[in-house]
Amino acid sequence: MDVLLIILCAVIVIGLLVFIHEGGHYLAARAFGVRVTEFMLGLPGPSVGFTAGGTRFGVTAVPLGGYAKVCGMEPGPMSPHLEAALASVYRRGTANMEDVAADCGISDDEAYEALEELVEWGSIAAPTKKDPYNTYRAREVKPTRREQRKAQTASQPALPSYALGESRPVADPQALFESEYRQQYRSLPFWKRSVILLAGIFVNLLFAVLAFIILFSVIGFAVQNTQTGEVFQFHASPWQSIVAGFTYIGMVVQAVLGLFNPATAAATVSDSTSIVGIAVLSKTALEQGFFTGLQFMAMISVSLGIMNLLPIPPLDGGRFVIEVFQKVTRKTVSTRALSYMSMAGMALFIGFCIFMVNQDIQNLIAGTGVFASPA
C-alpha cells in the first residue's frame, strides 16, 4: 500500500510540473500560430483523451513525463514535393503512396518522404494499423465559432467543414501549401523559435517564484522571537519572496554547473536524487501539508527547468544551441547529425539516470542521503 501511495504522489507532483512545462511550449506555439497536434502527459504510447482546437489532449499508458507535439520541428531541408503531394491528398481525400507518386510524377520514395513530412506538419493523417495499403487521409477541418463569426463580419461565405479523409476542392495548391506552412515551427523567425523552445523552462521557473510568493507572503511562516520565545506568523513582502525565489534558482544553477567541475562533480551527484528519490520525497512532502508540498514542488520545478537548459539534445537547451548554431553559421543541421546527437544525449542521460537510481536505492536501503532520518 505504501508503494502505491509513493507512486501516486510521484505521478501527482511530476505530472503537474510536466504539465506546466509542456504547457509553456504549447501556449508559446499557439500564440505564434503554430499547430500543436498532441499535448500528452506520459511517454508516447496508447492514450486516452479528447480533441479540442485541433490538438489531442490526454494521458498515456505511462503517465511519467510528457510532450507537446509542435508541428514542423523536423530537422533538415523540406521535401520539394510537399505542395503537389498536399494537393493530391486533399483532392482525393484518401490516398496511398503510389497514388500521390502518380499524381505528382515523382518516385514512390519521393512521395513517401513528402507524405511523412506532411504528417509531421499535421496537414494529413498518418496510416493506421488497420490500413492494408498505408492510406493517408486529408485532415479534418472544423472552423471554430470565432473563425465563422470573422467570416460573417467580412461578408464572406461560411467556412466549409470536412471530415477526416473527405475529398475537397483545391483551386490554388500554392495558397493551400502556404497556409499550411505558416502554421509550422520551421516557418518562424529565430527569436520566435527560441521563445517556443525556452517557454517550458520559463514557466517552470515562473511557477517556482509564484509558489514562493504564496508560501512566504500570502501564507507566511512561523518565526520565534529569540528574546521572548514568542512564536508569530511572519509575512514577507512580495519582493522579498521574489528575491528568495531567484536566490534558490541561483543555487540550483550553481549546483548544476558543479556537474561540469571535476572538483565538485562527485559531491553534486551524491547530493542529487533520481525519480526514485523524488517519488519517496513527494509522498513525505505531501503528507506534511500544503505548505511543505508546494515548497517541494517549487524546488523540483526549478530543478526540472534548469536541467532542461543543459545543451544536450534532445533537451530544450540542446535544441536551442542547435538553433543558435544554424542562425550563426547559416547552415542547416542534417537529420542524420541531429539523430546522432540525440542518441548520444539520450545514452548519456539514461546512463546518468541509471547511476542515480542505483544510488537512491542504496541510500534507501541504508537510510542515508536524502532518505536519512532527521536527528
Cell numbers describing residue 123 = 496537414
CA–CA dist 312, 345 (Å, integer): 6
Q: What count of other Cβ atoms lies within 10 Å of the Cβ of residue 38? A: 21
Instruction: Find, among 323, 314, 303, 305, the residue nearest to 348 by Cα.
Output: 314
Positions of E strands within the chain: 36-41, 47-52, 55-60, 66-70, 94-95, 124-125, 136-138, 221-224, 231-234
Instruction: Find, among 272, 211, 184, 290, the residue nearest to 20 by Cα.
Output: 211
Summarize pLDDT for 172-207 with one digit per residue, the tens.
999 999 999 999 999 999 999 999 999 999 999 999
**pLDDT level of residue 375 (50, 70, 90 thresholds):** very low
**pLDDT level of residue 356 (50, 70, 90 thresholds):** confident
Cell numbers describing residue 155 = 461578408
CA–CA dist 360, 350 (Å, integer): 15
CA–CA dist 312, 216 (Å, integer): 35
* pLDDT value of position 192: 96
Summarize pLDDT for 37-94 with one digit per residue, the tens.
999 998 888 889 998 888 999 998 877 788 999 999 988 789 999 999 999 999 999 9
Of 83-87, 148-152, 263-267, which has the strongest mean pLDDT? Answer: 83-87
